[in-house]
Structure 1
Amino acid sequence: MATSVTVRDVILAPGNGSFFYDDQAAIRAGVATDGFRYAGAPLTPGFQSIRIPARSLSIGLVLSDGMIVWGDMMGVQYSGAGGRDPLFMMDAIESLTRSVAIPRLKSTDISNFQAACSHVLAHHEGSRLPLAVEYGVSQALLAAAAHVACTTLTEVVCSEFSLSLPEKRVPLYAQSGDAREINVDKMILKAVDILPHGLINSREKFGPSGETFRAFVKWVAKRVSDIGGPGYHPTLHFDVYGWIGLEIGMDANTIADFICAVGDDVPDYRLHIESPADFGSTNAQLDEYAKIVNLLDERGSNARIVVDEQCNTLDDIKLFAEMKAAHIVQVKMPDVGSVADTIRGVLACKQSGVGAYVGGSCSETDLSARVSAQIAIATQADMVLAKPGMGVDEGISIVGNEQNRVLAVLNYRRSQRALSNGEANLT
């Protein structure tokens, strides 16, 4: 049904992400730490220091009926690495938003989410808008469509993409940050579905030949057994940031051998290994990851490969899914850009029989995290990241509670429809 609600004005508000932007190249090179800081010079363009506070820019659509809906723009923690967009620069993003996105917003029909995204996020001067702009603007457009329809974001997604309304939550995956042992305990005590990420992002954490990492995997499994509640049996998921390849070697057979050995260390658990190696380009990553996946499947390993680096855009996601170059694809929302493309990415994975992980970054905001929860539950992804931040509790609360609220709304509406139908039948 057509609507007369339009975008009357647009307001911007500077803000903070929930963690930091980090120079992955410098960290990988082995710089020393100084408290919470990293010592040494940055290597990735745009970074003035190796670790800088994450910034965000909120965009508010002032609608003609007086409602204001919001979206948040930001980058990911390891900006400029693995084929990603460069570091989020507030002034440049604000300038482009004002000159390109805002005029388009004032001339779009906000009642149709996909059409509005296509119009507002169209290429500018032959190139895509910065992915941060796509991400924040599309969040606001989804909120606007939900406001017009008087529904949740989930219901808009299901309606526009012809999906059934969800009836169950999506498994929650928590990330530990550097306070790994304490945060693992938090995750276990809160019975998180998938844990702990582990932040295996340096040679020190991976260890010679991977022994430090393997010891940590075994410790996590034992800790689950020691302090987990009855029947609690999570999936163990570790992000190794390419360190298997860096330390063990870049040969697919050698990497598969190591991953199988880790799987054998914890035979009673489903094991996810994220980013075992970074082969430097999307095409190389596709070829080598497909080999590793095939080798693990042939050997009947309990380990599953999760791709992150070099798999950023919707086109990348489709390629990895079609080529079975991962068991699970992280649809890393700020790197994908428009949340409409995140939806399409999840659906592409499901169509190809590959796992879909609605992910993102610790550097995001509470608002973008709640949007991700609604998209994950609408598409019935296989897992969703508890974000933002590295504190564990906050991400579990924000993403978990948002899922529960949506399910409560949908269940309420089902009960009201059933009641109305029953009363109609009585008359």
Structure 2
Amino acid sequence: MQITDVLLAPGDGAFFYDDQEAIRSGATQDGFIYVGAPITPGFKSIRIPASSLSIGLILADETVVWGDMMNVQYSGAGGRDPLFDTIQISDLTSRVVAPRLFEVDASRFRKSCTTVFEPVDHLRLPLAVEYGVSQALLRAAAHLQRKTMAEIICAEFDLPLPTCSVPIYCQSGDAREINVDKMILKAVDVLPHGLINSRQKFGVGGRTFMEFVKWVAARTREIGRPGYQPVLHFDVYGWIGQEIGLDPQRIADFICRVAESVPGFTVNVESPADYGSTKAQIENYAEIVSILDNRGSSARIVVDERCNTLEDIRLFAEAKAAHLVQIKTPDVGSLDDTARAVLICKQNQVGAYVGGSCTETDLSAQASVHISVATQADMMLAKPGMGVDEAFSIVGNEQNRLLAILNRRATKNVR
């Protein structure tokens, strides 16, 4: 039994937890804070610093491997787990998870996850716990087998070793114009997110949003290097449905106009509307997708809210209720499930986007890179934080290091 002890260390996420319902209901910003009373249970204010909890597994050779637990920025919204509570999560991990860890063969990643993540009193463990512990277990297996985390995933899922990089998607936060310029200068594959999360940012009838889309395309042509043609990806947090209504035909008409305003670009629209439940989301998103496909539009629908767990992702993929599924890693839970989610999307000819949240950490971001590259996802999020530079370097550099190792392995095998 290679795990001899367990360490827990409280930490910080790279951004803030935000009460999405309060923001959607009209809370105004005063500098960096939001003014008003919170609505979502657990929030004492609308914006609070993100917390995390690190778990360290001490192996028999005294090596310590780590994983980080946290929830996403908009915790408690769209069917997600509630706000992260470090004290409660620490207590549960010590009482329930740690004893299970001492019993597993840490060199076998997926089997260890199955054992450690057994339900408690018929209830699934908090997804943040699964997420952080699975990172540590994946690092343990990699250490014990002297492989990269990606190679462990490839071996356990019977996948070929990858040779291609995965496109990286950056998010702007509220510093839209400055961060768009940074993304363009760094030739980011997919940009800019935009954080269109309020009526003010979306505008009456979507006019403010439409102008922003056209500005991003124009700015790309203005300062981008010759031949640079990124995918334009905008997260509108349900505001198309909020502003113009939930009729799929009207939403598809609007999205078509957005795509037609920037000819030559592929446009991803994430979370165009929130229909209140997973079932309703699947039915209506499938109709929007069908309308856009029949029109031959270059626009693609991306699902986020109401598509959280592996089973949710399976339902959306099988129903073709999105062109691209965000596999939001802290909401999915175990990294084993994240890898399975990518493969399910591929089996159903639906795009797989390994996302996550600005509230994550460097360790969780690096582990996500290995899953993304091993499964050859369609794109992955630059994370953590809301700044472009740090997240892009953490994810991009980890990917480049990983591919250099895998290339060396392939070259040695050929010889």
Could you say which TM-score interval applies, normalised by the shorter chain?
Answer: over 0.9
1:144 counterpart residue number: 140
Q: Once the 2 structures are TM-superposed, how far is the Cα of residue 252 of structure 1 from its aligned partner?
A: 0.4
Cα-Cα RMSD? 0.6
State whether structure 2 residue 242 is matched by structure 1 residue 241: no
Q: Once the 2 structures are TM-superposed, how far is the Cα of residue 412 of structure 1 from its aligned partner?
A: 1.1
Matches within 5 A, 1:37-48: 37-48=33-44
Q: Once the 2 structures are TM-superposed, how far is the Cα of residue 74 of structure 1 from its aligned partner?
A: 0.3
Matches within 5 A, 1:306-385: 306-385=302-381
- Per the alignment, in what secondary structure is the counterpart of residue 184 of structure 2? helix
Taking the aligned partners of 2:147 and 2:373, their CA distance within structure 1 comes to: 15
Taking the aligned partners of 2:286 and 2:41, their CA distance within structure 1 comes to: 31
Taking the aligned partners of 2:86 and 2:208, their CA distance within structure 1 comes to: 39
Taking the aligned partners of 1:148 and 1:309, their CA distance within structure 2 comes to: 37
State whether structure 2 residue 194 is matched by structure 1 residue 192: no
- Per the alignment, in what secondary structure is the counterpart of residue 61 of structure 1? strand
1:171 counterpart residue number: 167
State whether structure 2 residue 153 is matched by structure 1 residue 157: yes
2:297 counterpart residue number: 301
1:275 counterpart residue number: 271
Matches within 5 A, 1:408-427: 408-419=404-415
**Which residue type is aligned with residue 163 of structure 1?**
L
2:115 counterpart residue number: 119
- Per the alignment, in what secondary structure is the counterpart of residue 390 of structure 2? helix
2:104 counterpart residue number: 108
Cα distance per residue 1:27-52 (max 9 Å; x no partner): 00111111100011000000000000
TM-score (norm 2): 0.99
- Per the alignment, in what secondary structure is the counterpart of residue 13 of structure 1? strand
Taking the aligned partners of 1:411 and 1:302, their CA distance within structure 2 comes to: 35
Taking the aligned partners of 1:204 and 1:418, their CA distance within structure 2 comes to: 58
Taking the aligned partners of 1:32 and 1:230, their CA distance within structure 2 comes to: 40
Q: Once the 2 structures are TM-superposed, how far is the Cα of residue 267 of structure 1 from its aligned partner?
A: 1.6
State whether structure 2 residue 6 is matched by structure 1 residue 10: yes
**Which residue type is aligned with residue 226 of structure 1?**
E
Q: Once the 2 structures are TM-superposed, how far is the Cα of residue 416 of structure 1 from its aligned partner?
A: 2.2
1:407 counterpart residue number: 403
Taking the aligned partners of 1:364 and 1:410, their CA distance within structure 2 comes to: 26
2:215 counterpart residue number: 219
Q: Once the 2 structures are TM-superposed, how far is the Cα of residue 418 of structure 1 from its aligned partner?
A: 2.7
Taking the aligned partners of 2:238 and 2:310, their CA distance within structure 1 comes to: 22
Give structure 2 stretches of 5+ with no counterpart: none
Cα distance per residue 1:376-398 (max 9 Å; x no partner): 00000000000000010011100
- After superposing on structure 2, the runs of 4+ consecutive aligned residues of structure 1 that deviate more than 6 Å are none
Q: Once the 2 structures are TM-superposed, how far is the Cα of residue 168 of structure 1 from its aligned partner?
A: 0.8
**Which residue type is aligned with residue 174 of structure 1?**
C
| Match 1:131 to one of 122, 127, 133 | 127
Taking the aligned partners of 1:267 and 1:279, their CA distance within structure 2 comes to: 30
- Per the alignment, in what secondary structure is the counterpart of residue 164 of structure 1? coil
**Which residue type is aligned with residue 171 of structure 1?**
P
2:389 counterpart residue number: 393
| Match 2:32 to one of 4, 13, 36 | 36
1:180 counterpart residue number: 176
1:201 counterpart residue number: 197
Cα distance per residue 1:265-288 (max 9 Å; x no partner): 012100000000000000000000
1:425 counterpart residue number: none
| Amino-acid identity (%) | 67
Cα distance per residue 1:62-118 (max 9 Å; x no partner): 001111100000000000000000000000000000010000001111111110000
- Per the alignment, in what secondary structure is the counterpart of residue 309 of structure 1? coil
Cα distance per residue 1:373-424 (max 9 Å; x no partner): 11100000000000000010011100011110000001112222233xxxxx
1:424 counterpart residue number: none
Taking the aligned partners of 2:409 and 2:125, their CA distance within structure 1 comes to: 38
Taking the aligned partners of 1:307 and 1:297, their CA distance within structure 2 comes to: 16
Matches within 5 A, 1:85-100: 85-100=81-96
Taking the aligned partners of 2:46 and 2:323, their CA distance within structure 1 comes to: 32
**Which residue type is aligned with residue 360 of structure 2?**
E
Taking the aligned partners of 2:146 and 2:155, their CA distance within structure 1 comes to: 13
